[in-house]
Structure 1
Amino acid sequence: MSDSPADVAPVAVARAHRRGERFTVLTGAMVHGALCLARLDDATSLLVDGALPGERVVVELMHRKGRLWFAHTVAVDAPSPHRVEAPCPYYGECGGCQLQHVEYAQQLELKAEIVRDSMRRQKVTVPQRFAVHGAAEPWRYRWRGEFHVIPGTAGMSDARLGFNRVRSWTPVAVDDCLIHHPRITSSLPALTGLVRDAGESGLTALHLTAGEGGEELLLRPRPPRAIPSASVDAHARSAGERWSATSTTLSWRGHDYRVSPDTFIQVNWGSIELLYGAALRGLGDVAGRTVVDAYAGVGVLACELAARGASVVCIENNRDSARLGVLNAELNDCAARVRYVAQAVEDALPGAGVGVDAVLLDPPRAGCDQRVTAWLALAGAARIVYVSCDPATLARDLRVLCVSGPYRIEQHELVDMFPQTHHIESVVTLVREG
């Protein structure tokens, strides 16, 4: 065979591109962030928002990171059968949602495949089938949110509330949000009045939490001194609203929990049974056993575990959360079985985790500190339940625990706590071998 240039297929070479150029592309798989892979004829790689796998779409180049371009879908030539009309008038402009253009059942399929891909990349062996739990209500589910203050043309006298735009720190004003709890969205007119009355106080945002079964709104200005608590109370009375400036109560499985604006909660409180129910199934029978609840927050799971007969050691670095956790244990008559350690998990676990029967991990999006996974691999409990909101960091940590370490995955469940967005929760049960 000749190897002359005429017999060798030409190799596509990526050329220089510029922002604003448009191309028609065929999209491939969706990756974390609700972005679809695509490639131009010259081999330039793209990540495309607003698309579904297998669609032919017109895209516009937005920005570049290294050799990778990010692009936005501006027209759909050949739509997926799973494409739907987004119901929110702000979709595509507001950056809060990424999947409103995808029918809900397909959102779950796409998220499950993204989790599988994250595991494959780290060579983590997972069960062939995931249990995937969709939300009973994929709209109006957020019990907590932060709304930015947007001054108007006349300053604060015609200010409004809203969210950051897509790929921007510049906010867009909204009159409604289809994924926030009705208690929050129905209060937006009164909250806008509160913001306008605050005047030039430096107010930048309102942090809101629905509580008391959705009957109360916990309100925290940013910065806190921008609106005094007395002004919040006075405005609530005049508007006929039930607002609190300090704390509110959330309930689950017969337990009541006091929460403040600065303490972590699961924002989809209506689906908390799906998530925490999966964690309890993973832990199994805990009666008479000792469980470490790492990243324990205000003790939601700890109180339920104590009610089931477990002795619970809660590790929580946020001292406000730890104080509320102690209070919640007292309010729910389980203080004798719940002990709080107000330290970082990586510092407290080597002492608190010795001799325990199970460890519950529910870290922030960044995953566990490497000192946590390293210690667990060396001296961890017989059973670990890992609750994660980020597939990439979960896969990284499972590689340490399962691929390099002594654990195997017994069960992996997915829980969609954030419909219409790219986020997905995993609940993984690990069993120590050897």
Structure 2
Amino acid sequence: MSDHGEPDFSPLKEINNVTTFPPPQEVSIEKILNNGAGLARTGEGQVVFVNGALDGERYHIKAWHKRRGSLWAHEATRLSDSPQRTAPDCPSANHCGGCQLRHVRAENEAAIKAAFFSDTCGRIGKWSVSETEITAFPRPHSRYRGKFQVNGGKLGFHEAGSNRIAPIRTCDVLPASVFDALPRLVKITQDTAFKGFIFYACSPDEKNPCFLFEGRAEKPKKVLSLIQRSGLPVARIGWRAGGNSSKQWLPTPTLTMRWCDWRVTLETDQFFQTNPASWPRFWDQVRAYQQQVQPRLIWDVHAGSGFLSAALRGIGDTCNLVLSEPDPRAITNLKRNLTNHNGVTVVHGTAEDVIKQGSLAEQPVDGLILDPPRVGLSDILIDWIATARPASLLAFSCDSGTFARDLKKLRAAGYEPRGAAEIMDVVPGSLRFESVLTLVDSRNSRFRLT
């Protein structure tokens, strides 16, 4: 696989620049990959991928196509069903790109994602996962944040493998308040030929969702008028122009929510964990790490607005805290919640900025909380870890491919996993999940994980 978890498929045989495809035949699915495709092998030994296939199923493949140098089934008939397969409970499941695993029984989905994680860690990270814990969450009302694609009245998610928009006719993963607002949003975009995105966000602490239009319309003033007459709370709808324009037609609305003892104010397009039902489990992981390892100085490397740090206890007393974050909006939340604590340093910048500026040169950091974006950890940060040698790392990840890549580098630097890797199915129905793992410095003879 590639560093980002995408399969690197064996190149197809070419003669005189013409791809030679295998003849039609039956294949058996060996495993499902984290891109939602099943892997099989042809009679000639070539790897082939079948969209939506599950472990153990058999397919008759009549035609093939080439995608990024790989062999994919183009016309495939399923001959047998996996016990994990079920009829999708959503009428849009076969074309909507918002969910890719609605054909999997809900009780099997998290285990499949744990298999994704183990497979990727083994092939990319060269680490055999010996112990996993799996936490599943219900599918309904699990996505409190997201982005709709919009094109002149068509509003929804891209179809799987396509730029076409699949309209949302029914959806149980959206909060009810967001789904109920869709007809009015569609009318606004239809009447004004609006094209772009609509970000949505909903707080479990508030009744009304927020919407942020980002794009262009043929009649901007009409958009404003329709928004005001839509029946939606005007104060909770923003609009900014897309492309290179900096025009802000309506201010970005905000929503408030509580994380442990912290109260945060977020704009509609700011990141937060999309499933509130999963939040307590994240905080449990942070508290368990703090209790087991007892770091005296923790660096929350990708702090955001403080979602993970909100779970820490004894800030400024039993532990000091450094938080780094480049988003000024998130910095405002961090400073608001930490002004009464001693021993806290908030750095406006990326992790790489902190390292280059030498902000930690005088501070013996012995614990790191890592929660990077999908691209994973930078080489600069990994090199710093290998040199500064904090005693332990609490590593969260939303991408098993980049996590496995980074894990391989961290293990080469002397860090080893301790305890079980937990797989959290935070976005059920989709391919997305979160993993969390504690790593310790195996070269630190004074360190003991209790």
Q: Is the 8 A contact 2:26 2:60 kept in 1?
A: yes
The equivalent of 2:42 in structure 1 is 40
Q: Please state if 1:210 is matched with 2:202.
A: yes
How far off is 1:32 after superposition?
A: 1.6
The alignment-based identity, stated in percent, is 25
Aligned position for 1:275: 282
| Residue among 141, 162, 165 paired with 2:156 | 162
Identify which range, 57-66 or 74-83, moves more after superposition. Answer: 57-66
**1:258 match:** 265
Deviation of 1:190 after TM superposition, in Å, equals 2.3
Say whether the 8 Å CA contact 2:50–2:73 is kept in structure 1: yes
User: What is the TM-score normalised by the length of structure 1?
Assistant: 0.84
Equivalent residue number for residue 346 of structure 2: 340
1:7 matched to which residue of 2? Answer: none
* Aligned counterpart, 1:195: 189
How far does the alpha carbon of each residue in 1:194-245 deviate from its partner, in whole angstroms, 9 at most, with x for none? 3335x14x54121000125251211111138968996587246x35788354
Paired AA for residue 243 in structure 1: R
Question: How far, CA to CA, are the matches of 2:336 and 2:225 in structure 1?
Answer: 28
Letter in 1 for 2:186: T
Report the residue type matching 1:322 in the other structure: I
The one-letter amino acid of 2:308's match is L
Give the 3 Å change call, closer, same or farther, for CA 77–395 of structure 1 in structure 2.
Answer: same
Counterparts of 1:325 and 1:60 in 2: how far apart (Å)? 57
Q: TM-score, structure 2 length as denominator?
A: 0.81
Contact between 1:61 and 1:71, CA under 8 Å: does it hold in 2?
yes
Equivalences for residues 400-415 of structure 1 within 5 A = 400-402=409-411, 404-411=412-419, 412-415=421-424
The count of residues paired between Structure 1 and Structure 2 equals: 406
Instruction: Name the amino acid aligned to 2:212.
Output: R
Change (3 A) 1:289 1:205: same
1:61 Cα deviation from its structure 2 partner? 5.2
Given the alignment of the two structures, is residue 243 of structure 1 paired with residue 236 of structure 2, yes or no? yes
CA contact under 8 A between 1:46 and 1:68: conserved in structure 2?
A: yes
CA RMSD for the aligned pairs?
A: 3.0
Match status 1:386 vs 2:395: yes
**Shift in alpha-carbon separation, 1:165–1:248, aligned structure 2, 3 A:** same
Cα 1:335–1:177, aligned 2, differ >3 Å: closer, same or farther? Answer: farther
Query: Partner amino acid for 1:195?
Result: T
Instruction: Write the distance in 1 (CA, Å) between the matches of 2:346 and 2:63.
Output: 51
Structural mapping, 1:35-434, within 5 Å? 35-59=37-61, 63-71=65-73, 74-122=76-124, 124-125=126-127, 128-135=130-137, 137-151=138-152, 159-197=153-191, 199-200=192-193, 202-223=194-215, 234-235=228-229, 238-239=231-232, 243-245=236-238, 246-284=253-291, 289-305=296-312, 309=317, 310-329=319-338, 334=340, 336-349=342-355, 351-353=358-360, 354-402=363-411, 404-411=412-419, 412-434=421-443
Matches of 1:64 and 1:254, distance apart in 2:
53
The gaps in structure 2 that reach 5 residues or longer are: 1-11, 239-252, 444-450
The amino acid of 2:347's aligned partner reads V
- For 2:424 and 2:107, the matched residues in 1 are separated by 13
Q: Is the contact made by 2:257 and 2:265 (CA closer than 8 Å) also made in structure 1?
A: yes
Q: Distance in 2 between matches of 1:269 and 1:60?
A: 44
The DSSP-based 3-state class of the residue aligned with 2:308 is helix
